[in-house]
Structure 1
Amino acid sequence: MDSLTTAFRSGQKPSFPAEAGTLEYAQSLDQQDKLGHLRKEFNIPTRTSLKKKALNGVSPGENDSEDEKSIYFVGNSLGAQPKAVRRALESQLETWASIGVNGHFSTLENSPLSSWQDLAESCARKSVDLVGAAVPEEIIYMNTLTANLHLMMASFYKPTAERHKVIIEWKPFPSDWYAIQSQIRHHNLSPSTSLIEIQPTPDLYLTTESILATITEHAPSTALVLLPGIQYYTGQLLDIKTITAHAHSLGIPCVGWDLAHAAGNVPLCLHDWNVDFAVWCTYKYINAGPGSTAGLFLHQKHHSRNLDRLEGWYGADKSVRFLMEKEFKPGKGASGWQLSNPSAIDLASVSAALGVFESVGERYMERLRGKAVVLTGYLEYLLEGLIREGVGRKGEKQAFRIITPGDPLERGTQLSLMLREGILEGVSKVLAEEGVVCDARKPDVIRVAPVPMYCRFEDVWRFVEIFKGALARV
């Protein structure tokens, strides 16, 4: 598998052997997988558990056979549950029950968690490699992604008569769209004149050239560039480094990134890339659970600036936090943007999930990326085989096409499949019947994400066989 990894990571598409379409070949890749042991660290829904209608005290676990487990290809929406999360939550509940309010300041022996008021900073320390920070103080875990986006825009979006535009992509995640529009209107401006959308090619590809050209065109009147690290709909990975540098070179005061689909998915170097701020959720590739506490990056260059901010109690430095004084003394770096006392339950989940990444070892994102590019490349190879065979074709119309870039360097662990009009519901029904969990985006797109932490090459092979059968049936 090492030769495949090297090729994909250099942006090439290696030639798979003639037997690559067999189950035995997929299993041979799993046997070579140096990260395959991580699968045992997760509770993966089973075909039976997916049909559960009521709680019965039984969760998927150690005794489930591989044949019984679902093909869980929806980590781009909600990651599978790390077993460490249950242990962390049990520790948190025992701490709360045993010492009550003192849990804010005390850590019980044998607990995997720090005291409650230190949990957010503890998670930040675990995330330096995750996002490529220079120091932990560039990171804080708090609120949710959209709330953090609002907080960053409150500090960085300072429109003037000359500079008032926000540059985004043509299809941002709806929550970002709502937040950005509301911020523009909050300043008594109109999105029709202050919101610039970068348009894709007809096949939904955002070329770096078009992004840079749009930034250049609007640079004199732009206050903020805000783009996704990975475009959620197509799965395209943008060139964060080049785009950020270009915008800064033209005098645009702030470049921010939504990393909801990039954090925990692809290696990031936010400090070295000079990103001003970034926000991300933790329930997709980071696997911390639905709605879990989100992350925020604030570049070190801004830490000493007297930026406007929306202030709250936990944003105050710990040395004065419990003095209850009226004067606000911000905490160091990104921690100074905290508002309320954060949920210790949520942060326990985040801490445990991040611990699974740490267990991979040094430069864990690079190692995970090595498997991911081969896993996704193998999925692409098998799917392209279906296209060549004409599976599900209707006249001149193919059953589906892949709208995620073919260049391995321009995508994460996701392939988006645009189906022929009218077959999404039927295909999705068959996939669900066969124990496949993936994400459908109406009217015609299925997003397939074989996450390297807990997905196998055999899962990829079985998915494509099931998908082939679904296309034939509809």
Structure 2
Amino acid sequence: MEKENQGFFLQIEIRKFIDNPNPRSPDMSNIEYQFTEDFAKSMDTKDPLGSFRAEFLFPKVDGKEAIYFCGNSLGLQPKSTKNYIEKELGNWANLAVDGHFHGEDAWYHIRKKSKPALAAILGAHEHEVVAMNNLSSNLHFLMVSFYQPTKTKFKIITEAGAFPSDMYMLETQVKFHGLNPAEAIIEIGPRKGEHTIRTEDFVKAIEENKDHLALVMMAGLQYYTGQVFDMEAITAAGHNAGANVGFDLAHAAGNVPMKLHDWGVDFATWCSYKYMNSGPGNISGIFVHERHAESPELPRFAGWWGHDEGERFKMEKGFIPMYGADGWQLANSNVLALAAHQASLDIFMRAGMNKLREKSELLTGYLEFLIREISGSSGVLEIITPKEPKERGCQLSLLIHKGGKEVFDEFYKNGIVGDWRHPNVIRLAPTPLYNSFLDVYRFARILEQSLKKFA
């Protein structure tokens, strides 16, 4: 009975999430942050998500539990992951090949289990999403379909300083079509003296290149600065120019609310091992807008798991894609990877993205307040992430002007796990599912100590 009730309430949370995936930002005007331990503890006491911290395993530094601010690189392991994987190992042991069609969550259809949660997190319909492959592979496969250059329309617009995988992927895709990356790829960067990219600069570049533009493909959230791009405005501009629009959501999925369907995004992909806490290198997923679902003639590299599943085992020639994103699958599902993925997705649905976003803004707001209190007008460090909460996720990137790597190393010696990016940026991601306000306060004290020592 307890298990049945848990499943019932999980479905209620999923329904709430889907109905309102992108709530208004919380009103923080009446919150006066304080640089005290008592304030941090009081915020944790009132935190409706505070209990989820106990559902994760924390690494240790010198035998002590770390303050983990690195969920933007690898999310922590849910304690439940082991049970989810062991369940499938048991099915494999007890059913072997019969596990594909018998037992709870038969493997032949197991991809469907993650669809409600993925649809909610991405702001999509269930038939528009599917978990498969890894992010870079998915980008290549999606580009086969959505980058079809002609003699006149062959250019791609992306953000300058994109994550290396995206740069390599775009470069090699362009070369595959016999084109010169220097001519085909247009990179939009920040204006002189700025760290983030203005939406109007993307829109202007799209308009100026509309006669030759085939594709806009870029991050939804910039990995280095933590900037959330205005995906809705960029998608509209790209479509007005007659181009397809797609996003790499590696740092956005599970971090910021999205409405990919409503925004009209053509395609997207993401990884599950950052904010979705599904394990190192674990399974990716794709979004393909439903308007492309009725286009079986759309070019794609096909595999038998994307073929009409009602006809799949006839083993005949002639690829017939399944409806929606499922038609881009190649191989059968990675069952153990999906099990680890589902452990985290079920936690997301119990927490609710609305509450996660509210806490995320409060955590990063508190972190920003404490950093500014400590650094003052010293000029030692600079926050290069947008100040406006809606323009950032749960990451703040610190540009350290003096003693950068030494400051970062001092963090680690004191139990802070963050992320160092050359030449002098420290990325910190207080993640709402498992980080606390006390974590942020303790980090601030260590930052204060480190700056006095090295800056």
User: TM-score higher than 0.5 here?
Assistant: yes
Aligned to 1:302: 292
Identity of aligned residues (%): 43
- Distance in 2 between residues matched to 1:443 and 1:342, nearest whole Å: 40
Give 1:189-204 correspondences, 5 Å limit: 189-201=179-191, 202-204=193-195
| 1:399 corresponds to 2:395 | no
Cα distance, 1:47 vs structure 2: 2.8
Structure 2 CA distance for aligned equivalents of residues 351 and 182 of structure 1: 33
Aligned counterpart, 1:366? 354
User: d(CA) in 2 for partners of 1:330 and 1:106?
Assistant: 25
Corresponding residue number in structure 1 for 2:155: 165
Q: Describe how 1:48-447 pairs up with structure 2 within 5 A.
A: 48=62, 68-108=64-104, 114-133=105-124, 135-201=125-191, 202-252=193-243, 254-305=244-295, 306-360=297-351, 364-388=352-376, 390=378, 398-421=379-402, 423-447=403-427
Q: Distance in 1 between matches of 2:432 and 2:219?
A: 21
The AA in structure 1 aligned to 2:339 is: A
The CA distance in 1 between the partners of 2:441 and 2:176, in whole Å, is: 50
Deviations 1:101-150 (A, max 9, x none): 11111224xxxxx22222222212221110000x2110011110010000
Distance 1:177 1:200 in 2: 17
Q: Distance in 2 between matches of 1:126 and 1:246?
A: 29
Which one of 420, 442, 448 corresponds to residue 468 of structure 1? 448
Shift of the alpha carbon at 1:69?
2.1
**Matching of residue 31 in structure 1 with residue 66 in structure 2:** no
Contact 2:213 2:242 in 1 (8 A): no
SS at match of 2:408: helix
Contact 1:12 1:407 survives alignment (8 Å)? no
Aligned partner of residue 185 in structure 1, secondary structure: helix
State the TM-score, normalizing by the size of structure 1.
0.88
Superimposed CA distance per residue, residues 281-328 of structure 1 (whole angstroms, 9 cap, x where no aligned partner): 000000001100001000000000121110011111221222222222
Provide the C-alpha distance between the structure 1 equivalents of 2:29 and 2:61, rounded to a whole number of angstroms: 34
- In structure 2, do the counterparts of structure 1 residues 12 and 365 end up closer, same or farther at CA, with 3 Å as the change threshold? closer
In 2, Cα distance between equivalents of 1:16 and 1:371: 13
Contact 1:260 1:279 in 2 (8 A): yes
Cα distance, 1:11–1:250 mapped onto 2, change above 3 Å: farther
Q: CA deviation at 1:15?
A: 6.8
- SS of the aligned residue for 1:247 comes to helix
Confirm or deny: 8 A CA contact 1:119 1:348 kept in the other structure. Answer: no
The Cα shift of 1:92 comes to 1.2
> In structure 1, the residue corresponding to 2:311 is in which secondary structure?
helix
State the partner residue of 1:52: none
SS at match of 2:300: coil
Secondary structure at the aligned position of 1:322 is classed as helix
Kindly state the Cα deviation for residue 11 of structure 1 after the two structures are TM-superposed: 8.8
- Displacement of 1:48 in angstroms is 4.3
Q: How many residues align?
A: 430
Measure, in 2, the Cα distance between the counterparts of 1:333 and 1:251: 22
Structure 2: stretches of 5+ with no match in the other structure: 1-22
Change (3 A) 1:168 1:161: same
Take 2:280 and 2:28, find their aligned partners in 1: how far apart are those partners?
Answer: 35
Deviates more, 1:365-374 or 1:171-180: 365-374
Q: Is the 8 A contact 1:137 1:332 kept in 2?
A: yes
Q: Could you tell me which runs of 5 or more consecutive residues in structure 1 were left unpaired when the two chains were aligned.
A: 1-7, 50-67, 109-113, 391-397
Deviation at 1:273, TM superposition (A): 0.4
The alignment yields a C-alpha RMSD, in angstroms, of 1.6
TM-score, length-scaled by structure 2: 0.92
Moved more, 349-358 or 157-166: 349-358
Q: Distance in 2 between matches of 1:175 and 1:211?
A: 21
Taking structure 1 as reference, are residues 382 and 126 closer, same or farther at Cα in structure 2, changes over 3 Å only? same
Q: Which contiguous aligned blocks of 4+ residues in structure 1 show a shift greater than 6 angstroms?
A: none
In structure 1, C-alpha distance between the alignment counterparts of 2:453 and 2:103, rounded to whole Å: 57
Contact 1:211 1:243 in 2 (8 A): yes
> Does the 8 A contact of 2:294 with 2:323 survive in 1?
no
What are the superposed Cα offsets for residues 19-68 of structure 1, whole Å, 9 maximum, x if unpaired?
Answer: 7000100110001101111111111112346xxxxxxxxxxxxxxxxxx4
